[in-house]
Structure 1
Amino acid sequence: MKKSYTSIGHISCVLMLTVAGTSFQAQVQRSSDTISRKSIAEASVLRKKTDTLSPSNKPPSEKVSNIEEVVLNAGYYKVKDKERTGSIAKVSSKDIENQPVANVLSAIQGRVSGVNIIQNSGVPGGGFDIQIRGKNSLRREGNDPMYIVDGVVISSENPSRYSSSIMPYSSISPLNSINPNDIENIEILKDADATAIYGSRGANGVVLITTKKGKKGKTQFSVNSSYALSSAASKMKMMNTAEYVRMRKEAYANDGITAYPATAYDINGIWNQSRYTDWQKVLIGNTAEAISTQISISGGSEGTSFLVSGSHQEQTTVFPASFRYKTNNITSNISHQSKDRKFTANISNLISFQTNNMLNQEITNKSLFLSPNAPALYSPNGSINWENNTFDNPIAPFVSTYSNDNKQFTSNINMGYEVYKGISVKLNGGVNYRAFEEYSLLPHTMYNPSYGLTSASSSALRNRRQYFSYIIEPQINWKHDFGDHQFDVLAGGTFQQDSGYQSQNQGYGFESNALIHNIGAAKTKIITEAGSEYRYAALFGRINYQYKNKYILNVTGRRDGSSRFGPQKRFANFGAVGAAWLFSNENILRESRWLSFGKFRGSIGTTGNDKIGDYQYLDTYTISGTGYGGITALNPSRLYNPLFSWEKTEKLEAAVELGFLKDRINLSAAWYRNRSSNQLVGIPLPGTTGFSSIQANLPATVENKGFELDINAYPIKSSKFKWNTSFNISIPTSKLVSFPGLEGSTYANQYVLGYPVSIVKVYQYEGIDPVTGLYRFKDFNGDGKITSLDDNQVIERIGVRYFGGLQNQLQYKSWTFSFLLQFVKQRNWNYHNYMPTPGTMNNQPVELLDVWSADNQGGTYMPYTSGADTQKTTLQTLFKNSTAAIDDASFIRLKNIQLSYRLKPESSIIKDVLIYFQGQNLLTWTNYFGLDPEFVLTGFLPPLKTYSFGIQLNF
């Protein structure tokens, strides 16, 4: 479906006008919790025993006893939402629970401003690309945020080596191990004030995940089960057999070939020219199934509470085979508080078992390229059909095997004790263990028999990676009020150690494929093993000062030490200053009827990045594949450089938060700027050195800045009917600010000063020559040839212009209905960049029927070629890398829809029952030319459309 993008602005305007003009009484919902900011601030003042209010300062009489303040997790401390000086976004469990997703990142797409999330693949168990306020590092792996689950740091490093053929960048998300239904809250820290306390690990933002805890009271038992059906969200309209055959014959005619070659099976009489197969339907058109079951028990006394939960999930794929992804999770939590409330302890555990068997080669591209009259997949006897060795069967890779087994264990203990009034000590500790193993078995039978391959060409690959990390963080906190002055001081330290071990076994050539599961039976074996150790230590502190509940100053600092740098560069200082003014608490505004809350806040500070890998500063050696005189040889693999150090990101933010009409409408607007320098990349070296590059700090600076707007409102709130609506939009910009010596470096054709680092340089497409019908491109250097890099001069800004979401929730008695619209304005590569030369033995979209000819001189595409015309083949290559291959990839997507009904049966056993329906990725409005506008690499399976039905029983 296609729709104009002016609807985004229209929706926003209608939303704001409707909210502003409504006469219904309402109360704003902020961060998914109900608050009344003005009342809270005044109630806080009333609770102070030391305060003396003058008659002019007395708050208006309002009920505050039932008001709940929103408290945000800032990592090492908690802060009331109204008192925070930093940028912290919160997503609560009610926004993500019961969604038909295996990874929580999919559930929060479009819900948080400043956080752009892209799903890399529709294959179960895949990964996500998450950018919090843009890309700060020139290295792809240097842009991952910091993940913390219940106080334990979770490594974002990808363990896979052999899944790249099915998952872009072999991406496997570290959050796959967490059941979204086990999550209580997600807080995302964005600016310097919020992230600087994490020092070198906060440059790309911090994702804090808090799992659910038990609550005191009667023991409760819950069963939650759902069933989901998924399918490809979109397809391309390809040529049918008649159109395809006409294209192929016309291509040979254009090339002056009258006798079709023996390999042109589709039109030389070998294959049936009347047969038609919709390969998208056959190869990626199946319906995937998913089942999810979760059982939990919770309860507790006044001092101790507990929760234990176990879940099982299974997902199949849309491919025509029995591939399956399974996860089994066990989570537990126990919390204790002493009778005098001085001692607290909390222990959380997460155990996850994941298994995934996928096809070894992606076939989504084959569903687009395969000739519509190609033979059937199976022979009459049920074996793979090779059609007399004329057909490269797309399901042949199914005889190969890819599988991975992923085990993860995370445990956290958090203890605190109030040693004196206002002084408390705390100890946070945890461990994270991950064991990942994958196999890739490639028998020779997956290839066309005409190649003449035997089992000697079969191969078996195994990769094993183990990771163990522990963290210890002692802390001391002092809080005290001196009349109108409030102090909150925190000091602590961090010690973290990571140990990793990886082994890769590769076997090539087997006497029989029956032995392929035993790499020891291979004729050629390559075994590599490596271990690594990473140590990190830090001291951190925070001073928070408040005056009269109106003026807030927050200062954070951290000194970090990392073993990833040389002895003289291991330590660095990071810090930030944040400030806020609650101007709605000023006397002149206390009685305001239209302004219920107002706050200005801002922050400035520096964070860092040491995501460079271990031992990068050392000169290292690898074992040579060939020996010398019977002696094992070593090859130098890296040059010594003890001088490179941290990437540093300077962050600046200014924001305003407003509440109107007794918090009927809540608005937050923020402007930010991040500048990242000392880029940790490989600096090119002359070939005479024997090395292509040396790891060092590149003197380049990348700037990300932008504007974020969040609006949250309750247009209607009554005893029977409630309507909550929220809208967010982010407008990011990025550019390379400085790069000394760029013009003379090997990066000259990759980056341009003043432009984003995501730009690409392409040829300027100038349409079709009206005389010859061939593609034309601008000749920048005037040499009459469009083949050199001198003509590759047009700068295209690939990436997002703005993105956001519109969410609505309506509740009537026991019914709840909600939906989320996600929108993205962007430019990216379209299908032209990926498609094969029109006229060759590959199917094409129906748009390719509009070809130039003497009778159709307004045609979009040049005349077909079978591949024999080298000029057209060259022009097609230029076309694929020209401005014609980059287009508007914007979209509006009905990301999520939910309808639920809660009933309370007259039973002493069942407390209540929740019946729900969920939909994911249901509709997409776009003008994009391609399979799906949300993608990383074209040719991979895009995100799926899912319908889910479930029931939850609470006892």
Structure 2
Amino acid sequence: MWVLLILLFFSSNKLHAQETILSGVVKTADGTPIEGVTVWQQNTANGTQTNEQGFYTLSISPNAVIVFEYIGYKTQTVKASGSILNVTLTPDDDTLEELVINAGYYSVKDKERTGSISKITSKEIGQQPVANPLAAMQGRMAGVNITQSSGTPGGGFDIQIRGRNSLRTEGNAPLYIVDGVPFPSQSASDMNLTAMLFPSGNTSPLNSINPNDIESIEVLKDADATAIYGSRGSNGVVLITTKKGSTDKTTFSVQSTTSVSTVSKFMDLMDTHQYLKVRRDAFANDGITEYPANAYDINGTWDQNRYTDWQREFIGGKAVSHNTQFSVGGGSGRTSYLLSAGHRTDGTVYMGDFGYKRTNFLLNVNHRSANDRFGLQVSVQKSNQNNRLMANDLTNSIFLAPNAPALYDAQGNLNWENNTFENPAAKLNSKYFSKTADYTANVNLSYNLLQNLQIGVSTGFSDASTEEIVTVPHTVYSPAYNYTSRESAMTKSSLKRSSFIVEPKVVWNVEQGNNAWNLVAGATLETREQQAFSVQGGNFSSNDLIMNLANAVNKNILTDSETLYKYIALYGRLNYKYLDRYIVNLTGRRDGSSRFGPNNRFANFGAVGAAWLFSREGALENSSWLSFGKLRASYGITGSDLIGDYQYLNAYRISHNQYDGNVGLEPARLYNPDFSWESNKKLEAAVELEFFNGRLAPSVAWYRNRSSNQLVGIPLPGTTGFSSVQANLGALVENSGWEVTLRSLNVVKENFKWSTDINLSLPKNKLLDFPNLEESTYALQYTVGYPVFIQKVYHITGVDPETGLYQVEDRNGDGVITSDDRSMIMNLGQKYHMGIANQLNYKNFSLGFLVQFVKQTVRNPDYNAGLFGSMNNSHTRYADYFQPENPGGVYQMPTTGANRPALQATDYLRNSNLSISDGSFIRLKSVQLQYRLPQHWFKGTQLVYLQGYNLFTLTKFWGSDPETATGYLPALRTIAVGASLNF
């Protein structure tokens, strides 16, 4: 690499006799600098681009002719007569609509697309100090709802594109495509190892992608945009395109960012005085007058004047992160390249030496032949992740009694306080190790047989491996148990994935007068293999050898599996334009998947989209106020095969039970030859407008998606020997709603520019049909006419003033409280979400910030709360509990657990309307303040910046964070400072 860099450096600094340095600024007619204008010497490969201030420098020959080109503006050709050449570009109405959108198998001009596609670029992504691309998308796209499940590094994200289509959580993942190669949408982690660390044990598969390597992210939403992906497009498609080099001079770039993350909000927990009062009342309510020997917090064993804020002890640290990126790019003539390397380290807010590391490499090469007929694109990505954490999230340990002893003694050893203390810090001895290696390569070849006929083939290969280890040494337990390393255990899990895809394609373009046709046709051949293995060891001779399974006396193989997935498809797209304003788009795909039964292995998917660019009509073409106007609509069918492999087969598995000392087989699954695809019928209509030369650009879209043939387990009678059979359920789920966007240029001055982007989503989910729901095992989970993410709960009407216990409504009137009374419907979904992004530029300064709005109902901490009155602290809200002097208390009287009716009422609380509350919030999601150093200080582009993420939240939610899952570390507040050097 060093040899390459030295050669590139000297090749880009050749001395040419009689050359002069030309410089200047390129602006619009109103004085706004234009970034990215291509400036080159005519009839040569000598060129450059303007920076954010519109400034450029170029070494030229005397009296050279200079060309200035920029999409949306008329090209200017000027003869240089001195060393300074300033140029003003004027808009070109014929090319103003040339912004190109990546739609996967084809590209389309933004204003001529018939489908619904949202896009963000490296500019928005780079403004946020995040490690995962999904975090950079939060709040920036209409119809795309992304939530972070945990603040622990390496954790997961949940993404829903226009709602939840499948009754299965895992069936709602979108299709990820990275540089043309499908990317896994399922977590690679073994949830048996990570469930105590991450919600549902999931980690994001996109953790391996460096956001700094991404040029753009497009999200395909409606049928017109997704039907060409057939059975993989039901839940939307996320297209990630990495950065490419340019045929400009060789450019080196170094970027370094350091950030500090902390918990943005602590819960209001009781102090020692409040806590001990609750404990005394709890014993009194249970009729216990003499405190038990194990009530150390209140019987005098522990200091009753001691107070510790355990939130600051367990999750109050500062997570320091470092992110460094280096790249070299350039090229000459018709070849360009970009080589990038990045390294990121993330600390944690937990006590102890834990953290996350990731290293990324990216190589992109593009080439066009001299006759412009042959094209080659090569993309190679390599990523390595190394995560070293404790095996348990310590967030729930914040409810430790406030007068509990110190975690460590004077010598730094774990303090067990004479075996009166189950020290939560001992959990830090149980560790989680994860190593992940990802490799992705894509080669795209194209050749123009004729001027309007192109053939090509795209091939991609990916390989990923994940190895996880969880150690549980005996030191996590109190010495009172007298455990040794014989009670220590270790679990090791490995997962290997590999895939190969080949996609030949032909593109044909025809223009005849006022008619234009574009035909894209191709095929897909894909195979994926996966091997999973996990083993558990116990009874070690020493904890020093706990990482070595050979040292374990007892070994138990938990998983040993291999799966193969094969997929084949034919697809086509026909686009027709008449008079450049009437557009019809037809897409279709026939898919075959190895995941379904022989009777339904193939299926057809397709869509039709249409658009009318009414602003190009004669009556409006020269309008002084309407710059652009379009009506579009689409309808089509997409599908989903996210069900896992071999689900239709009559399968057997290794039995854990032995017969006469022999290992046998047992039935695992029933055969279903009719097992087939989920299907999603999508309908959409939209209007897109621009006023006053693009200064104001609103759009409104309405959509309705109906998903049927749900892939679920159909319950069976116990006499069959199986609890269910995998089949297509006739349930029908509808997602509908409105999406509104608004882009505005508020102020455009010579030294000041202010723009705003607003997106608003109003989603609505409803279960339209579910045959025999009341007789099925899903009766307590779903209700026809309501969203699929409802919760059926008990209705607590208050606290009974006679008993001091929660009063639960007997909803069926049978005189007793049973699960049948758990029929009150609570909606745990979002009513709307919105993002408002602003960008302000003043001379060398720029300020960008995003405000996120979410209206939702969520689970509150009551859902995971411990027994009120036991040796666990509570939120200060619980101070309003029933007692003789407070008969109107919100919470019932405390109990130590001896009062069985009170204990039962606590279980009602966890599954009642009181455990669900308003989780709406307004959040200052991201901020970036940037300063560009003056050009006369340094050659090249030098930036320094200050960034913030999750800075401030306004909410009525009384937990730590309304977004992340209750009981896990909340999303962190991040402050970052960095610099970017380009030369």
| Contact kept? 2:261, 2:320, Cα under 8 Å | yes
Q: Counterpart in 1 of 2:556?
A: 526
Over 3 Å counting, the alpha-carbon distance change for 1:64 and 1:603 in structure 2 is closer
Q: Counterpart in 2 of 1:264?
A: 295
1:445 equivalenced with 2:475 (yes/no):
yes
| Contact kept? 1:25, 1:664, Cα under 8 Å | no
Q: Counterpart in 2 of 1:625?
A: 656
Over 3 Å counting, the alpha-carbon distance change for 1:27 and 1:888 in structure 2 is farther
1:309 equivalenced with 2:340 (yes/no):
yes
Match of 1:476 among 482, 498, 506: 506
Q: Counterpart in 2 of 1:724?
A: 755
1:838 equivalenced with 2:873 (yes/no):
no
Q: Counterpart in 1 of 2:711?
A: 680
Q: Counterpart in 1 of 2:621?
A: 590
Q: How does 1:27-426 map to 2 (within 5 A)?
A: 63-64=92-93, 67=96, 69-161=98-190, 162-367=193-398, 369-426=399-456
1:462 equivalenced with 2:492 (yes/no):
yes
Q: Counterpart in 2 of 1:953?
A: 981
Q: Distance in 2 between matches of 1:68 and 1:135?
A: 34
Report deviation, 1:748. 1.0
Q: Distance in 2 between matches of 1:533 and 1:223?
A: 42
Q: Aligned to 2:600, what secondary structure does the other structure show?
A: coil
Q: How does 1:467-546 map to 2 (within 5 A)?
A: 467-527=497-557, 528-546=559-577
Counting aligned pairs with the same residue, the percent is 51
| Contact kept? 2:247, 2:333, Cα under 8 Å | yes
Q: Distance in 2 between matches of 1:616 and 1:858?
A: 55
Q: Counterpart in 1 of 2:20?
A: none
1:723-763, CA deviations, whole angstroms, 9 ceiling, x for partnerless residues?
A: 01011110000111111111111111111000111011111
Q: Distance in 1 between matches of 2:715 and 2:625?
A: 61
1:33-85, CA deviations, whole angstroms, 9 ceiling, x for partnerless residues?
A: 99xxxx999999xxxxxxxxxxxxxxxx9645885721000000000000000
1:534-572, CA deviations, whole angstroms, 9 ceiling, x for partnerless residues?
A: 000000000000000110000000000001112221100
1:862 equivalenced with 2:892 (yes/no):
yes
Over 3 Å counting, the alpha-carbon distance change for 1:27 and 1:207 in structure 2 is farther
Report deviation, 1:785. 2.1
Report deviation, 1:792. 0.8
1:760 equivalenced with 2:784 (yes/no):
no
Over 3 Å counting, the alpha-carbon distance change for 1:629 and 1:869 in structure 2 is closer
Report deviation, 1:25. 11
Q: Which has the higher contact order (CA 8 A, sep 6+)?
A: 1
| Contact kept? 1:294, 1:312, Cα under 8 Å | yes
Q: Counterpart in 2 of 1:894?
A: 924
Over 3 Å counting, the alpha-carbon distance change for 1:939 and 1:542 in structure 2 is same
Task: Using the TM superposition, name which of 865-874 and 483-492 deviates more.
Answer: 865-874
User: Letter of the aligned partner of 1:524 in structure 2?
Assistant: N
Q: Distance in 1 between matches of 2:72 and 2:377?
A: 30
Q: Distance in 2 between matches of 1:935 and 1:66?
A: 45
Q: Counterpart in 2 of 1:790?
A: 820
Report deviation, 1:202. 0.2
Match of 2:581 among 544, 550, 557: 550
Q: Which runs of 5+ in 1 are unaligned?
A: 1-23, 45-60
TM-score by length of 2: 0.90
| Contact kept? 1:220, 1:299, Cα under 8 Å | yes
1:225-257, CA deviations, whole angstroms, 9 ceiling, x for partnerless residues?
A: 010000001110111111111111121112221
Match of 1:940 among 968, 975, 978: 968
Q: How does 1:553-632 map to 2 (within 5 A)?
A: 553-632=584-663
| Contact kept? 2:474, 2:483, Cα under 8 Å | yes
Report deviation, 1:508. 2.2
Task: Using the TM superposition, name which of 183-192 and 743-752 deviates more.
Answer: 743-752
User: Letter of the aligned partner of 2:900 in structure 1?
Assistant: T
Q: Distance in 1 between matches of 2:623 and 2:799?
A: 66
Q: Aligned to 1:373, what secondary structure does the other structure show?
A: coil
Report deviation, 1:870. 1.0
Q: Distance in 1 between matches of 2:32 and 2:597?
A: 59
Q: Aligned to 1:382, what secondary structure does the other structure show?
A: coil
Q: Distance in 1 between matches of 2:788 and 2:31?
A: 48
1:819-861, CA deviations, whole angstroms, 9 ceiling, x for partnerless residues?
A: 1001110011112212112211110111111122332233222
TM-score by length of 1: 0.93
1:877 equivalenced with 2:877 (yes/no):
no
Q: Aligned to 1:275, what secondary structure does the other structure show?
A: coil
1:812 equivalenced with 2:842 (yes/no):
yes
1:400-456, CA deviations, whole angstroms, 9 ceiling, x for partnerless residues?
A: 221000000001111111100100011111111101101011111101223343333
Q: Counterpart in 1 of 2:944?
A: 915
User: Letter of the aligned partner of 2:415 in structure 1?
Assistant: N
Over 3 Å counting, the alpha-carbon distance change for 1:348 and 1:262 in structure 2 is same
| Contact kept? 2:861, 2:967, Cα under 8 Å | no
Over 3 Å counting, the alpha-carbon distance change for 1:721 and 1:447 in structure 2 is same
Q: Distance in 2 between matches of 1:353 and 1:86?
A: 36
| Contact kept? 2:74, 2:92, Cα under 8 Å | no
Q: Aligned to 1:592, what secondary structure does the other structure show?
A: coil
| Contact kept? 1:706, 1:733, Cα under 8 Å | yes
| Contact kept? 1:113, 1:804, Cα under 8 Å | yes
Q: Distance in 1 between matches of 2:167 and 2:34?
A: 41
Q: Aligned to 2:657, what secondary structure does the other structure show?
A: coil
Over 3 Å counting, the alpha-carbon distance change for 1:461 and 1:40 in structure 2 is closer
Q: Aligned to 1:568, what secondary structure does the other structure show?
A: helix
Report deviation, 1:904. 3.4
Report deviation, 1:668. 0.9
Q: Distance in 1 between matches of 2:980 and 2:32?
A: 30
Report deviation, 1:515. 3.1
Q: How many residues align?
A: 905
Over 3 Å counting, the alpha-carbon distance change for 1:27 and 1:772 in structure 2 is farther
Match of 1:903 among 919, 929, 933: 933
User: Letter of the aligned partner of 1:146 in structure 2?
Assistant: L
Q: Aligned to 2:659, what secondary structure does the other structure show?
A: coil
Q: Distance in 2 between matches of 1:146 and 1:606?
A: 16
Report deviation, 1:210. 0.3
Over 3 Å counting, the alpha-carbon distance change for 1:331 and 1:866 in structure 2 is same
| Contact kept? 2:32, 2:750, Cα under 8 Å | no
Q: Counterpart in 1 of 2:738?
A: 707
| Contact kept? 1:904, 1:911, Cα under 8 Å | no
Q: Distance in 2 between matches of 1:362 and 1:43?
A: 58
Over 3 Å counting, the alpha-carbon distance change for 1:820 and 1:388 in structure 2 is same
Report deviation, 1:26. 10
Q: Counterpart in 1 of 2:464?
A: 434
Report deviation, 1:520. 2.5
Q: Aligned to 2:540, what secondary structure does the other structure show?
A: coil
1:82-120, CA deviations, whole angstroms, 9 ceiling, x for partnerless residues?
A: 000000000011001152111011111000000000101
| Contact kept? 1:27, 1:713, Cα under 8 Å | no
Q: Counterpart in 1 of 2:60?
A: none
Q: Aligned to 1:523, what secondary structure does the other structure show?
A: strand
Task: Using the TM superposition, name which of 114-123 and 850-859 deviates more.
Answer: 850-859
| Contact kept? 1:898, 1:916, Cα under 8 Å | yes
Q: Aligned to 1:577, what secondary structure does the other structure show?
A: strand
User: Letter of the aligned partner of 1:342 in structure 2?
Assistant: R
1:638-681, CA deviations, whole angstroms, 9 ceiling, x for partnerless residues?
A: 11112110000100100000111222100111000111111111
Q: Aligned to 1:395, what secondary structure does the other structure show?
A: helix
Q: Aligned to 2:668, what secondary structure does the other structure show?
A: strand
| Contact kept? 1:491, 1:542, Cα under 8 Å | yes
Report deviation, 1:339. 1.4
| Contact kept? 1:28, 1:713, Cα under 8 Å | no
